[in-house]
C-alpha cells in the first residue's frame, strides 16, 4: 500500500508550517539537518521547539540567518539546487516549486520571469523550507501528497493574501475555503502555496492513518489554531473492475431475483437492479453487475444464459477501496466476524457480517437488530474502540 500525506490547512500553510508538521509527525531533526547539508548553503541555524496555538500543541520551526542576503534570481536559486548532492527526484520537485513561485511573483509584479529577483521567496529560509519539506517527505517514505482547500480570510470583501500567493493559486487552480471573519493575517504564504500547489492533489484520500503532526505558524490567533495538520498513513487500494449492464423488460420479478442471487453467489463484487421505462412505455429494469476483470467472461455468460437479454454492455471502471480488515472474535453470543474500515476523518467503522448475525439470531431466538447492535458494541470493546455496552 502506498504511503501518503494529507495536509489539513486548519489555520493556513506556510513553508515553515509544512516543515514543522513533518518534524512533529516523527521526522528526526538531525536527519533533516543532514539532508539540508547537501545544499551549498552556510550562515544559517535551524532549530525547532514545541508551542501551542489556540490550545493545540504543535512544532515551530526557526531558521536564523547570520546576515543580510542579496536577492536571488530564479536561475541563481536553481543553480544552488543543481550543485547540491540531493537526489534527482528532490531536485526536480524543488525546481518545480521555485518555478511556480517565480511565475507567481512575475505575474503579481507585471514583470518578465527572466532576471526577476525573488527577494523573500529566494532567501535562505525559503530554500530551507522547500528543500527540507521535500526531503522530509522522502525520508518519511511518502509517495503521494494531498491537501485540503486553502483557507483564505476575508476582510471587508477582500482576501487577505499576498498578490503572489493569489497568482500561484490561480495558476494551479487550487480550491479555496473562504473564512468570513476578522482575521488579519496572511494565512497562506507564497512559499506555502507553491509547495502544496506543486506537490499535492486537492482531494481527501481514503487512508489508514498512522501518525498526525502539527506545524505552527508564527502568530498566536484566538479565532482559529494557527497550525497545519499533517495526516500520515497508507492509501486505500484502487481496483480495476468491469461494470456489466443489460436492460430487461420481459422477465418476472421472481426470475430477476433468482439471477441477482446467482450473480452474487458466482463471485460478483456487487449486483443491483434499477427501474426504467423502455420502448413503448414498458417498465423494465437495468441489471448491473460489478466484477473483477478475471470474472468478466463468467458473469457475461451467466447473464446471457439466465436472462432474456440479447446483449450486455461493458465499461471499465476503477474503485477506491477503503482500507479494511476482517476480525473474528468470541462474542457473548458466539464466534462472529466483523469488518473494520478506517478513515482519516473519523473513528473506525465496525460492520458485522449480516449472515453471521442472521445465523446467531436464528440459533438463539433473538431479534436480528438486537444481535447486530450487541455484536457492534462488543466488537468495539474488543478492538479498544469503546462502546455503549450491551443493548
Please count the other Cβ atoms lying within 10 Å of the Cβ belonging to residue 318.
9
Tens-digit pLDDT profile for residues 202-233: 998 888 889 999 999 998 887 789 999 999 99
Residue 292 pLDDT > 70: yes
How far is residue 375's CA from residue 391's CA, in Å, rounded to a whole number?
10
Q: How confident is the model at residue 179 (pLDDT cuts 50, 70, 90)?
A: confident
Residue 390 pLDDT > 50: no
| Torsion 63-69-70-76 (CA) sign | negative
Q: Which residues contact 35 (CB under 8 A, 6 or more apart)?
A: 86, 131, 132, 135, 136, 139
Q: Which residues contact 211 (CB under 8 A, 6 or more apart)?
A: 25, 26, 231, 232, 233
Grid coordinates given for 339 = 469488518
Sheet holding 44-53, edge to edge: 44-53, 56-65, 207-216, 227-235, 3-8, 144-147, 200-201
Residue 60 pLDDT > 80: yes
> Which pLDDT value is given to residue 391?
33
Cα-to-chain-centroid distance, residue 269: 25
Q: How confident is the model at residue 154 (pLDDT cuts 50, 70, 90)?
A: confident
Mean pLDDT over the full length of the chain: 90
* Lowest-confidence pick of 62-76, 120-134, 333-347: 333-347
- H-helix or E-strand spanning residue 237: strand 237-248
Domain boundaries, the chain: 3-235, 239-321, 324-382
Grid coordinates given for 63 = 531558521
E-strand spans in the chain? 3-8, 44-53, 56-65, 144-147, 150-155, 158-159, 176-180, 200-201, 207-216, 227-235, 237-248, 270-277, 283-292, 313-321, 324-331, 334-343, 346-352
Instruction: List the CATH code of the domain at 239-321.
Output: 3.30.70.1380
Amino acid at each position: 500500500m502506498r504511503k501518503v500525506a494529507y495536509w489539513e490547512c486548519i489555520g493556513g500553510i506556510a513553508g515553515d508550517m509544512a516543515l514543522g508538521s513533518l518534524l512533529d509527525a516523527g521526522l528526526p531533526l538531525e536527519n533533516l539537518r543532514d539532508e539540508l547539508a547537501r545544499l551549498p548553503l552556510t550562515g544559517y541555524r535551524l532549530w525547532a521547539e514545541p508551542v501551542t496555538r489556540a490550545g493545540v500543541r504543535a512544532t515551530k520551526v526557526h531558521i536564523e540567518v547570520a546576515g543580510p542576503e542579496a536577492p536571488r534570481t530564479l536561475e541563481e536559486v536553481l543553480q544552488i539546487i543543481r550543485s547540491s548532492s540531493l537526489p534527482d527526484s528532490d531536485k526536480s520537485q524543488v525546481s518545480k516549486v521555485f518555478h511556480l513561485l517565480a511565475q507567481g511573483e512575475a505575474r503579481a509584479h507585471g514583470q518578465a520571469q527572466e532576471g526577476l529577483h525573488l527577494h523573500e521567496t529566494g532567501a535562505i529560509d525559503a530554500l530551507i523550507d522547500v528543500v527540507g519539506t521535500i526531503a522530509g517527505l522522502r525520508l518519511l517514505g511518502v509517495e503521494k501528497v494531498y491537501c485540503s482547500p486553502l483557507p483564505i480570510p476575508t476582510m471587508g470583501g477582500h482576501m487577505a493574501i499576498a498578490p503572489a500567493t493569489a497568482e500561484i493559486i490561480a495558476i494551479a487552480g487550487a480550491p479555496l475555503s473562504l473564512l468570513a471573519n476578522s482575521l488579519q493575517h496572511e494565512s497562506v504564504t507564497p512559499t506555502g502555496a507553491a509547495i502544496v500547489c506543486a506537490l499535492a492533489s486537492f482531494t481527501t484520500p481514503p487512508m489508514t492513518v498512522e501518525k498526525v503532526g502539527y506545524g505552527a505558524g508564527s502568530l498566536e490567533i484566538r479565532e482559529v489554531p494557527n497550525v497545519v495538520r499533517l495526516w500520515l498513513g497508507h492509501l486505500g487500494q484502487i481496483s480495476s473492475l468491469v461494470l456489466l449492464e443489460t436492460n430487461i423488460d420481459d422477465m418476472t420479478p421472481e426470475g430477476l431475483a433468482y439471477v441477482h442471487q446467482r450473480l452474487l453467489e458466482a463471485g460478483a463484487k456487487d449486483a443491483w437492479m434499477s427501474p426504467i421505462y423502455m420502448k413503448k412505455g414498458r417498465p423494465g429494469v437495468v441489471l448491473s453487475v460489478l466484477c473483477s476483470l478475471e470474472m468478466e467472461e463468467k458473469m457475461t455468460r451467466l447473464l446471457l444464459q439466465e436472462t432474456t437479454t440479447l446483449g450486455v454492455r461493458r465499461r471499465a471502471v476503477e474503485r477506491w477501496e477503503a482500507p479494511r480488515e476482517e476480525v473474528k472474535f468470541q462474542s457473548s453470543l458466539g464466534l462472529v466476524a466483523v469488518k473494520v474500515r478506517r478513515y482519516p476523518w473519523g473513528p473506525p467503522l465496525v460492520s458485522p457480517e449480516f449472515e453471521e448475525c442472521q445465523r446467531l439470531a436464528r440459533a438463539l431466538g433473538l431479534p436480528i437488530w438486537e444481535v447486530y447492535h450487541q455484536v457492534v458494541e462488543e466488537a468495539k470493546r474488543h478492538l479498544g474502540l469503546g462502546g455503549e455496552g450491551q443493548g
